[in-house]
Amino acid sequence: MDQLSSFSQWTSYPYRLIPSSIRNRFFKAKRSVTAFREELLGPIEFLRSLFLASLAIASKDPIPIIGFWRRGKSYALAVSHDVETQLGLEDGAGRLIEVEKELGIRSTWNLPTDRYPLSSQLVIALAQNGEVGGHDTKHDGRLFFAGITDKLDRVKRCRERLEFLSRRPVRGFRAPLLQHSRELVETLGKAGYEYDSSMPSWEPLSPTSLKPHGVGTVFPFLISGLVEIPVSMPQDHQLIRVGGLGVAAAVDQLLEVSRWIRKAGGACVLLVHPDYEFGQEEGRDEYLRLLTSFRSDPACDIMTLGEMARWWIYRQESYIDEEGMINTRSDENKNAIGELELELVMGYGLDGFKMEPPIGNSVMEMPKSSRLRS
């Protein structure tokens, strides 16, 4: 338990009432938040590449795999927003939506239900421009430390309230301060959520432990029956308010991280708060520059977090059958098989993997006793 969160838990002051200047100074004293390195962001991707490269070098035949993203895209983007204040909801959110509409991008809006007044009109508007996700009730830093019964009550009330206001199902959740645990994920499943996006791929300073922390992958994964979608890119707040970067420099940093994720074929999960610089008029052009870099890339598969979670479940249920064709274990997903594409790993060299599409409708003739899974 870190000192700031402990202070919040055991006194009458919620975390948000601790002055941000004190929190930020405490974070800065530990480590630069802009020191992102590839080996920290995705060590699991290095191991996966090493394993596949070993197979490619040792094998005399092409290795068939199912592409990670829809219609043969190379990597993905999910834009998400954690709305911490009423000003962010009523003022900053509109500016971000304006940019996203211009580029045809739909995003995920994570809302706390009891921190500031929520109108059905505003929540419906956010849902119509993407989707709405849960962000606890009060955003006070206490969810992580609550008992199981209290956790379940809070996240369930959050989902039910947002569904009532938005008139739509609420499938996803993000914990305040990215304070996560397996217990919380299991609780979210009991409360009716389908995915969580509370775990960072890597962050230089966790608000829970005050140490560097991350799950080490830029891909979604399954945990306790839910899809976990890691926050793979640095938060705007940490880069600008804590790291001291200007808005343009923060965008440059985000684009640099995204280029590595693109090479790894992973998911760029962007977390932008409408309460801060990007939600202000002065930040509009830089936010447009940031999103344009993804929209203009034909290799990028852009989706909401909810769409990404459902896609990942679908891909997990798919496999390459004995005829060298893609199939799925779920009858309800058979209509979407056309969005999956086969790829052949032909070899590995100094320039990385040599990939080619298969010729014809199948990959190769495969032994009847085998079944290659994705």
Q: How is 88-114 classified by DSSP, letter by letter? A: IIIIIHHHHHHHHHHHT--EEEEE-SS
pLDDT category of residue 12 using cuts at 50, 70 and 90? very low
Residue span of the structural domain in which 284 resides: 3-35+70-312
Whether 65 maps to a domain, the answer reads no
According to DSSP H, which parts of the chain are helical?
3-10, 20-28, 38-41, 43-58, 86-87, 93-103, 120-128, 148-166, 182-190, 236-237, 247-264, 284-295, 305-316
> CA triplet 303, 274, 206: central angle to 5 degrees?
85
Range in 51-65, 188-202, 286-300, 334-348 the model is least confident about = 334-348
Whether 185 maps to a domain, the answer reads yes
Contact call for residues 215 and 195 (beta carbons, < 8 A): no
Whether 248 maps to a domain, the answer reads yes
Quote the tokens at residue 201: 């791929």
Q: Say which CATH number the domain at 80 has.
A: 3.20.20.370
In the predicted structure, residue 21 carries a pLDDT above the cut 50:
no
- Structural domain count, the chain: 1
Q: Which amino acid is at 214?
A: G
Whether 61 maps to a domain, the answer reads no
The predicted pLDDT at position 163 comes to 98
Whether 49 maps to a domain, the answer reads no
Contact call for residues 110 and 83 (beta carbons, < 8 A): yes
Quote the tokens at residue 197: 């996006």
Whether 40 maps to a domain, the answer reads no
Whether 75 maps to a domain, the answer reads yes
* CB neighbours of residue 89 within 10 Å: 25
Whether 279 maps to a domain, the answer reads yes
Of residues 373 and 244, more confidence is placed in 244
- Distance in angstroms between the alpha carbons of the first and the last residue of the chain: 39
pLDDT category of residue 3 using cuts at 50, 70 and 90? very low
